[in-house]
């Protein structure tokens, strides 16, 4: 397995990866996904025998905040440490960043994974999160 910056955007393989994990909000809006990649602070891809097996996409300023927007691993490659390696590689690229943030599903599986990588739920830190999603939030 090789992890390196995701260079030239290849729509077909990216859409296949997002579709494989059921992230249909992205696959239904390929132009949004391409724009998101282009505007990201950093995107890392994990390849196994040349196939895109996973990726992580971060936004932010790289100094005060690193926001992990997407981290996904194709189901054929899950439970092999790829997600952990992607996450830790991204964090290692920004050693001086003040806070690293992500939002994910509230399941025991995801909680265990992120806790094992050094993350804490916001409620454990006396914080709360506010979110505005177009079409779902009061505008």
Task: Name beta bridge partners: 30.
Answer: none
**pTM value?**
0.91
Domains defined for the chain, CATH in brackets: 2-125 (3.40.630.30)
Q: What is the pLDDT of residue 131?
A: 83
Q: Closest Cα to residue 56, out of 32, 79, 77, 40?
A: 40
Q: Closest Cα to residue 33, out of 3, 7, 69, 62?
A: 69
Q: What would the two tokens of residue 41 be?
A: 């602070």
Task: Name beta bridge partners: 116.
Answer: none
Q: What is the pLDDT of residue 11?
A: 96
Q: Closest Cα to residue 66, out of 42, 49, 47, 84?
A: 42
Contact call for residues 53 and 13 (beta carbons, < 8 A): no
Full pLDDT tens readout for the chain, 139 residues: 999 999 899 999 999 999 999 999 999 999 999 999 999 999 999 999 999 999 999 999 999 999 999 999 999 999 999 999 999 999 999 999 999 999 998 899 999 999 999 999 988 899 888 888 877 755 5
């Amino acid at each position: 397995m090789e992890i390196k910056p995701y260079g030239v955007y290849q729509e077909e393989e990216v859409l296949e990866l997002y579709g494989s994990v059921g992230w249909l909000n992205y696959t239904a809006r390929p132009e949004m996904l391409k724009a998101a990649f282009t505007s990201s602070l950093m995107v890392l891809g994990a390849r196994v025998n040349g196939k895109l097996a996973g990726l992580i996409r971060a936004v932010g300023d790289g100094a005060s905040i690193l926001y992990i927007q997407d981290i996904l691993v194709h189901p054929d490659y899950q439970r092999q440490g790829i997600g952990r390696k992607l996450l830790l590689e991204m964090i290692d690229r920004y050693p001086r960043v003040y806070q690293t943030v992500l939002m994910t599903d509230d399941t025991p599986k995801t909680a265990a994974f992120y806790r094992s990588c050094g993350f804490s739920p916001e409620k454990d830190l006396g914080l709360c999160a506010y979110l505005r999603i177009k079409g779902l939030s009061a505008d």
